[in-house]
Amino acid sequence: MIKAGIIGATGYAGGELVRILTGHKDVEIQWFGSRSYIGKEYASVYQNMFQIVDAACMDDNMEELAEQVDVIFTATPQGFCASMMNENILSKVKIIDLSADYRIKDVATYEKWYGIEHKSPQFIEEAVYGLCEVNREDVKNARLVANPGCYTTCSILTAYPLAKEGLIDMSTLIIDAKSGTSGAGRGAKVPNLFCEVNENMKAYGVATHRHTPEIEEQLGYASGEKVVLNFTPHLVPMNRGILATEYAKLTKETTYKEVKAIYDKYYANEKFVRVLDRDIYPETKWVEGSNYADIGFKIDSRTGRIIMMGAIDNLVKGAAGQAVQNMNLMFGLKESEGLELVPMFP
């Protein structure tokens, strides 16, 4: 059995990690870390775990945890993992970080967009960006995986094949995305109160959202050019889900069959990416509670543009599910182990 520890187990992503790993036949959770609930029964924080998890929350001592487990998941705010990381820890245990601390290769870019000093930049180059469908082989040999962000996972997977094949003009790419409120975390914030969110939709982080450089960097690797794009997120009154609608100019005239063939080239054998049939467009409800990413597209011959659409569950494929997918690869397990979750409907 793989022994796992979770730091940040009482946040939404951490809670989803517990839910998924509890059903994973090859994993035993040893440590439910939560600075806010030390000594409190985990099932009293998440009552859905009553008589399922019989353990108390512990602190966030990564040095001590590294002596007890094989893998540590850090579902923590930006800066925590970087402040704890050292060679002694990495020599003993694999780390899957769900924050942004190791996602962006340029430390100056990270510090500019996140507004904090990076405490362990010496590990940035080693860290593997854990988008399994793109970096699978590198993930297998990694000690430190930077689990991608939720918006970024959806946005990158949706455009990646066309960026890689040079079919879209990257200078024209615009990403318009919507997320449920769980994407903002479990902390109490006035903008996330029911009365603020219900019967409402709003843009936020306009031209400043911190996932922007992550999307630009990864799609830059795919296209082989520097990418600068507009990314605008919106908050919608639902618990889970992300829908990204992306617009770009085509670099040449093309047909539905040609574009579909490109998507199939990259995703036909991917368990968790479903390219939908013609004129069927993704809906968040179709992926809720699952590790799937659904993708659809429409060529607009009138404008010479293509409209690409993707949907994921932000807490599963956008966070905990992807983290477990990375863990499976790192330990040589079946990649889908513990993740064959049928989407919930309605």
Strands 273-275 and 202-203: unpaired
- Distance from CA of residue 278 to its chain's centroid? 27
Q: Are 149 and 103 in contact (CB under 8 A)?
A: yes
Length of the chain (residues) = 346
Is 193 buried (19+), middle (13-18) or exposed (0-12) by CB count in 10 A? exposed
Q: Are 146 and 129 in contact (CB under 8 A)?
A: yes
Look at residues 281, 286, 284, 322 and name the one whose alpha carbon lies nearest to residue 298.
281
Task: Output the DSSP codes for 215-270.
Answer: HHHHHHHHHTS----EEEEEE-SSSS-EEEEEEEEBSS---HHHHHHHHHHHHTT-
User: Among 57, 81, 132, 150, which one carries the catalytic annotation?
Assistant: 150
Return the sign of the alpha-carbon dihedral for residues 68, 71, 76, 78: positive
Other Cβ atoms closer than 10 A to 32 = 27
> Has 150 been annotated as catalytic?
yes
| Catalytically annotated residues | 150
